[in-house]
Structure 1
Amino acid sequence: MSKDDTSPAEFDDEPENEALAEAYNRGLALQKSGDLAGAEKAFREVLELDPEDSGGASIRLAAIGVEKAPDKMPDAYVATLFDQHADVFDEILVDELGYCVPLLLREMIQRLEVGPFERLLDLGCGTGLTGMALADCTTHRTGIDLSERVVELAYDREAYDDLYVGEAVEFLQEFEEEDGSRPAWDLIAATDVFPYLGAVEPFLQGAVDRLAPKGYLAFSTETLPADALQGRNYMVGPKSRFAQAESYIRSSLDEAGFEVLAMDPITVRLEEGEPVPGHLVMAQLR
């Protein structure tokens, strides 16, 4: 959802957070000026002050190339980021960044002539854009997001039958109904989730365990040129989001037991007026 330098969590003005905010803002300024050594020092200070990493300093360290990319973004960072931007979420994402992946997914479903679906699980549901886009081809919709604030906004839109606050992979692995049963879904959607993951294997395995037989998985990714990835499966890109190699996504889907029905190149969003390339994927359990 980010706009690069506006994406980090903005620390409040409580006295205990003043040092944290100062170190973080110093790191951002040094990174922007090209002083990567100074930025590294500042972001390491942030991590010492905030071990849960609600500001995403570990992601910044990976973005400037001084740390290996983590397997995913810190949960505290993602939750804080989206909580703080919840009230302007759609304005930033749709109006300013030109985000329309949910509508592209709706078009893909029509083109592939799959569905309608009895049960949709929307992981990283945000304020409900995907739930609304797929309302006419799904009967029962469940949404989950790490941000309590955006879940509240999705609730107000009445786009879902059930809503939960939680992390996507943990939900796939652990969620049970009140009677102890483990529900399955016909379609699992994850639009704009993979840019907050690095390694995709835990997510895919969780999806396999929760899909009905021959169920469908739809998701979007961001991509970087092959020379930027330098043979890596994924990395934190210059905009502090994960990009995965197309070959990595394809091989991981195959190993997890999916058939790729479509993997369309798309423009995920705009950053500073420039298109951010990615893919929209529809896969089906074999």
Structure 2
Amino acid sequence: MTKLDNEALAEAYNRALDLEKAGKFDEAAEAYKAVLELDPEDHGGAAVRLASMGKGNAPVKAPDAYVSTLFDQHAEVFDMVLVDQLGYSVPLMVRDKIEKLELGPFKRLLDLGCGTGLSAEALHDLVPHKTGVDIAEGMVEVADEKEVYDDLYVGEVVEFLKVEEEERWDLIAATDVLPYMGELEEFFAGVADNIEANGIFAFSSETLPADVLGEQNFMVGKYHRFAHAESYVRSLLKKSGFTILELSPITVRLEQGEPVPGHLVIAAYKKS
């Protein structure tokens, strides 16, 4: 692996960012391409920013290096920023839907993209055994300090789902995970491989109006997060063996004071 020239990379990235903020998108695109030449692993998310500006195709997912760097930087203040400033309450929405649908009791939770443990805290008394997985080591360290999980792993969630486990989970959650993924086929298939028969899959997604998405299954929105078409989510769940119990429109969070639209989905695994 080539060692990064962090000084040159920071200079190139800041130049690209300044051009983007100035509305000089053609120049910004060339500058972000120069960033990618310096940093092919893309710690700064240049590929995502290119797609957001309409200057590049949406990648199949946000780069792992970008996601881990982004969340490691914000781990210590994550709860305050996400909950208090951005109005994020999806884990509590998941709990509310589970109770209203009278689902459970559950034995084992797998919390994918667990972050600092907000979902485990929201579901703490509904499931006795909890496993958390997150790509950002800093987030996992904060979650570990809360002592809300029985097992914690640092890793990319799709790769984690490929590991053969002795036991499956009867509740799998993925709140605020899909906005960092484009293609979902492999992810949903991995969830299906790791969930018990009749197990519950609870997750959130972000979306955009149909006239913006057009025929696309997903795209990168203006806040550099992936938005998915409802039709894409529905068709993939069916293909992966899930029956949708609830698919509700929600406000996922606020971004610069604007509500971010999305869906809250509760699905049961019915495939034999």
Deviations, residues 201-235 of structure 1 (Å, cap 9, x unaligned): 10110011000111111100001011111210000
Identity among equivalent positions (%) equals: 61
Q: CA deviation at 1:16?
A: 2.6
TM-score computed with the length of structure 2 as normaliser: 0.96
2:149 pairs with 1:160: yes
Residue 126 of structure 1 corresponds to which residue in structure 2? 115
2:49 is the alignment partner of 1:60: yes
**Structure 1 CA distance for aligned equivalents of residues 133 and 225 of structure 2:** 20
Q: How many residues align?
A: 268
- Tell me, in whole angstroms, the C-alpha distance in 2 between the residues paired with 1:155 and 1:33: 41
Determine the structure 1 residue equivalent to 2:23: 34
In structure 2, what is the equivalent of residue 189 of structure 1? Answer: 173
Look up the match of 1:251. Answer: 235
| Deviation of 1:175 (Å) | 4.8
- How many Å separate the matches in 2 of 1:193 and 1:244? 12
CA distance in 1, matches of 2:85, 2:164: 35
Q: For 2:207 and 2:15, how far apart are their aligned partners in 1?
A: 29
Q: TM-score, normalised by structure 1?
A: 0.92
Residue 231 (structure 1) aligned with residue 215 (structure 2): yes
Q: Partners of 2:33 and 2:207 in 1: how far apart?
A: 27
Give the partner amino acid of 2:180. Y
Q: Secondary structure, in 3 states, of the residue corresponding to 1:117?
A: coil
Q: How does 1:201-240 map to 2 (within 5 A)?
A: 201-240=185-224
> Counterparts of 1:79-98 in structure 2 under 5 Å?
79-98=68-87
Shift of 1:18: 1.5
1:122-146 alpha-carbon deviations (Å, 9 max, x no partner)? 0000000000100110010000000
Structure 1 segments, 4+ long, off by >3 Å, are: none
Q: Give the corresponding residue for 1:264.
A: 248
RMSD in angstroms over aligned alpha carbons? 1.2
CA 1:162–1:31 in structure 2 vs 1: closer, same or farther (change >3 Å)? same
Q: Give the Cα–Cα distance (whole angstroms) in 1 for the partners of residues 222 and 167 of structure 2.
A: 38
Q: Distance in 2 between matches of 1:41 and 1:174?
A: 39
Amino acid at match of 1:194: L
The superposition leaves residues 67-116 of structure 1 with CA deviations (integer Å, 9 ceiling, x where unpaired) of 11111111111001101111111111111111000001110101111012
1-side partners of 2:198 and 2:93: how far apart? 22
Name stretches of at least 5 consecutive residues in structure 1 with no aligned partner: 1-14, 177-181
Please state how far the C-alpha of 1:278 moved relative to its aligned partner. 0.4
Question: SS of the residue aligned with 1:137?
Answer: coil
For structure 2, the 5+ residue unaligned runs are: none
| Residue 267 of structure 2 is aligned to residue 283 of structure 1 | yes
- 1:28 Cα deviation after fit: 1.5
